[in-house]
């Protein structure tokens, strides 16, 4: 060290600066860890009997739902329309989209609901949707990343050459969310609600074969895509907090709900489909499965960075609560690596 009367050497100054920088980084890391631990401890679970009747008015709110023409996406759109939100349904099939709008308006005559075409497995289509919305909306209050496919028997690829489940369930939503972040930041209470699955607990991010080119297992690949969603949802909240975006990122899962997912994926005649059909009376309806998403999208007390879902037997059904986070979704290094890889693959960098 040097005295006040001794001129410090440049190397001494550099060394001191490095020490100060390291100290600040350590303090920041400790503060962030304490904040995360405190937030997790202070999370109040939803009341177990929460229903759509507990939703606050959504008048003046603008909500985009991917895959909103059937299943839980449709139930989201219906419930949010009843609550007064302006609802935009984004899906591939325009004919089904128009049928869905008519169906909702029969039940909610004054519903403010629209359709936008998008194929999440096509990044050009994703960019086109984002461009249209950025041009005509002043803000976006809620983005519900609901659309998904499950376990097609044969490996196939997206328009951009990615494995189809990874593209549809994760890379497309990742890109869409990043492109719509400017609109979400304009909201006083911007939220991104991303649908994971109890299958994520069986998943692993295989960075050496992310696209399942060497080995394709339909169910393992599905589980990986849903684990990727969960890692991304948590990392999005961390980055929103760190950068002051003011957007809540919340994950949800429906348990096991009776939708078209199995029929369109492995098929009802598959071993999985036969077992699912036998047990379907024990599972949630699509409306019940949608409750965790609707809570995350509307409840004032829903916490950014939380994971909501049914908490009954194996989380397949039961009352609403805070879902168990798979250990594979708790490694921040993996989440950071996945984020960087996703930006490279999609060409979308968050602001």
Which residues are known catalytic residues?
222
Q: Where are the alpha helices (DSSP H) in the chain?
A: 10-42, 71-82, 94-107, 123-136, 164-166, 172-185, 218-243, 261-264, 271-279, 286-289, 291-298, 332-346
> What is the distance between the alpha carbons of residues 31 and 92, in angstroms, rounded to a whole number?
44
Q: How far apart are CA 54 and CA 52, in angstroms?
A: 5
- With CA atoms as reference, report the closest residue to 323 among 347, 282, 291, 285: 291
What's the CA gap between 282 and 276, in Å, rounded? Answer: 10
Where helices occur in 201-270 by DSSP H, the ranges are 218-243, 261-264
Copy the structure tokens of residue 167: 């593209």
292 vs 163: CA distance, rounded Å: 28
Nearest by Cα to 175 from 192, 188, 190: 192
247: which strand partners? 190
Contact 94, 109 (CB under 8 A): no
- Taking the C-alpha atoms of residue 74 and residue 52, their distance in angstroms, rounded to an integer, is 14
Helix orientation angle between 172-185 and 123-136, rounded to the nearest 10 degrees: 10
Give the contacts of 281 (CB within 8 A, at least 6 positions apart). Answer: none
Q: What share of the chain is helix, strand, coil (3-state, %, to 5)?
A: 50, 15, 35
């Amino acid at each position: 060290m040097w005295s006040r009367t001794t001129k410090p050497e440049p190397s001494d100054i550099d060394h001191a600066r490095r020490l100060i920088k390291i100290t600040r980084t350590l303090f920041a890391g400790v503060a962030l860890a304490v904040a995360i631990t405190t937030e997790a401890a202070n999370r109040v679970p939803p009341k177990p009997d929460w229903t759509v009747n507990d939703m606050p008015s959504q008048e003046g709110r603008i909500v985009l739902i991917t895959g909103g023409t059937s299943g839980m996406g449709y139930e989201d759109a219906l419930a949010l329309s009843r609550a007064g939100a302006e609802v935009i349904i984004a899906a591939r099939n325009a004919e089904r989209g128009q049928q869905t709008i008519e169906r909702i308006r029969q039940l909610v005559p004054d519903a403010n609901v629209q359709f936008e075409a998008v194929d999440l497995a096509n990044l050009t289509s994703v960019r086109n949707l984002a461009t249209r919305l950025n041009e005509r909306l002043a803000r976006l209050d809620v983005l519900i990343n609901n659309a998904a496919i499950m376990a097609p028997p044969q490996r196939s690829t997206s328009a951009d050459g990615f494995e189809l489940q990874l593209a549809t369930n994760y890379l497309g939503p990742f890109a869409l969310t990043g492109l719509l972040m400017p609109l979400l930041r304009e909201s006083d209470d911007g939220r991104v609600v991303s649908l994971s699955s109890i299958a994520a607990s069986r998943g692993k991010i295989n960075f050496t074969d992310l696209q399942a080119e060497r080995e394709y297992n339909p169910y393992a690949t599905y589980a990986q895509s849903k684990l990727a969603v969960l890692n991304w949802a948590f990392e999005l909240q961390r980055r929103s907090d760190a950068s002051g975006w003011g957007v809540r990122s919340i994950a949800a899962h429906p348990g096991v709900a009776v939708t078209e997912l199995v029929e369109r994926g492995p098929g009802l005649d598959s071993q999985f489909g036969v077992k699912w059909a036998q047990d379907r009376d024990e599972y949630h309806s699509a409306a019940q499965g949608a409750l965790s998403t609707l809570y995350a999208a509307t409840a004032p007390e829903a916490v950014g960075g939380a994971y909501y879902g049914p908490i009954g037997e194996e989380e397949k059904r039961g009352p609403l609560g805070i879902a168990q986070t798979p250990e594979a979704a708790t490694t921040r290094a993996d989440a950071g690596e996945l984020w960087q890889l996703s930006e490279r693959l999609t060409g979308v960098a968050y602001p």
